[in-house]
Structures are given as C-alpha cells and as structure tokens.
Amino acid sequence: MAGIVLDGKALSLSIEADLKQRVDALKIRNGNRTPILATILVGDDPASATYVKMKGNACRRTGMDSKSVFLPQETTTEQLLSEIEKLNANPDVHGILLQHPVPSQIDERLCFDAISIKKDVDGVTTNGFGLMSMGCAAYGSATPAGIMKILEHYEIPLQGKDAVVVGRSPILGKPMAMMLLNANTTVTICHSRTEDLAEKIKRADIVIGAVGKPEFIKGEWIKDEAVVVDAGYHPGGVGDIELSAVIERCSAYTPVPGGVGPMTISTLMSQTVEAAEKAAE
C-alpha cells in the first residue's frame, strides 16, 4: 500500500488563505500599509529569475507587495552590500531575500550576514542560524522550516525517532538537522562523501533528501514504513530520492513536485507577514 502523500501544495494554499486574512487585518491596524518582501537578484540566471517571479506571485496572492532589485552580473560585493543596507534602512520593507547563488566574485556569506536579523525572513544569516539552533526566536531557513510545518500538519511523530539528513548546506541540510534535533529527534547528518551511506539510511525512521543530486538516494536504501521527505528538484521532475522505488513501502512521502517546494514559498510569506506584524507593534 502506498504511503500517505504529504501534500505541500494543498497545505501551502491553506496557509496562504490564512495569511491573506492576517495581511488584511494588519492593513486595517497599520494605516493601510502593506507588508513588503524585497528580493535581490544578481545576474541573469534563468532559474533564479523564475524563482523570483514565483515569490512575487505568492506575495500578490496573500495581499502583500513585492519589491524587486535587479543587479548586473558584474556587481561587486560592496555594491550588493550597499543595496542590502538601503533595504535594511527602509521601514516599508519587512523582509529581504537575496536570491542565491550569486556570481562568484561576490562574498555570498558576507552579504547574507548583512541582512538585518529583523528582516531575515529567509533564515540565511549566521545570527539567525545560531538563535534557531539554540531554540531561541528566529526566522528559520525557509525550506527546512517548511518541511517542519509539513511534518507537524500531518502529525508525523518525531520525538525519539531516528532521522538521517543527507546534505549539509548552510540553508538546508544543517538547519534541517538542528530543527529536527530541537524536536527531540535523533539526527545523523550525512552527505555525498559519507562512507556506508546506504547502511546509515537503512536505519532511519525519517529520511530527508537534501543533497542536490538527482535520485542520489536509492529507494532500496530506505526501510519499510519510513517517512521520506525529498527537498530536491531537478529537470525531469525528479528529486534527490528515487521515490518511484519506495512509494509503495514507505509510510509517508513528499511528492516531487508538489511537496517541499510550495512550502518553501509559503513559509517565506508567513515569516514576512510575521515580521510586518512585529514591526507594526
């Protein structure tokens, strides 16, 4: 029997409907000021441009405004930092998203960390990661935070369970592991160079694919009745996990597409609205 579909698309639509009501209420309290998410895109990468457009569409669906800052491919670190500081100082901007990756000549980490902690709605700053890891108030990285919302909504047991996170990126794998740990899950962090990876995955109750390689994690590595969360998306509509080989054996899984992706965007919207509500207070 196929596992339960952890439908991120349906959940994201429900979240967006609630956000629209919160935005409407906020505008009534706040002199009709609309929450604004500012997105910075450096260069002309087509995939990044598509993601920025999707986030702008999501803003409009929830009644928010979006502000787009487009910078040329040859932009320097100093020029990007200057744009970030302008947005930090703008009281009408409640969230800042720096679309990554940025061109190689830019110090990406320095620019991420220049974003005000109050406007770090994508959860990319070192400060935000540290606060989240310690269980303090912070906006979590959007994709892992979205995954946690999916698991919570579908009442997936976490406490005491063994989870394997395959991937160690600073905005996905590492924060994902910390969020699961804070939920009392026992976490093993693996990556593409982990020895005996298949054996480690076979012991997991929860498998998170966040390695960035198409179908890198084989279905046969995953034990029966495991919960399978695929955070990858690649050409051809496949993720990081060979889902076709595990759907009939797992207890629950996120589809690709329609699982984690929509929740990343809805989490970004949620955290922007929360930032606007805090600013209004």
121, 272 in Cβ contact below 8 A? Answer: yes
Catalytic residue among 7, 119, 120, 122: 122
**Cross-strand partners of 229:** 208
Helical spans, DSSP H, in 46-141: 46-61, 77-89, 108-113, 126-133
Catalytic status, residue 223 = no
134, 169 in Cβ contact below 8 A? Answer: no
Catalytic residue among 99, 120, 205, 230: 99
Catalytic residue among 55, 149, 174, 200: 55
**Farthest-apart Cα atoms in the chain, separation:** 59
Taking CA atoms, 185 is separated from 98, 139, 180, 224, 248, in Å, by 31, 20, 5, 19, 25
* Angle, CA 249 vertex, CA 6 and CA 157 arms, to 5°: 50
Among the listed residues 108, 29, 98, 111, the one whose alpha carbon sits nearest the alpha carbon of residue 69: 98
Q: Characterise 115 by phi-psi region: left (phi > 0), alpha (psi -120 to 50), beta (else).
A: beta
Query: What dihedral do alpha carbons 49, 55, 61, 63 form, nearest 10°?
Result: -110
Catalytic status, residue 99 = yes
Rounded to whole angstroms, how far apart are CA atoms 209 and 226?
Answer: 13
Catalytic status, residue 122 = yes
Please enumerate in sequence order all residues whose Cβ is within 8 A of that of 111, keeping only pairs 6 or more positions apart, or say none.
77, 80, 81, 84, 98, 102
**Cross-strand partners of 27:** none
Written as six digits, the tokens of 196 are 């005996």
Residues with catalytic function: 55, 99, 122
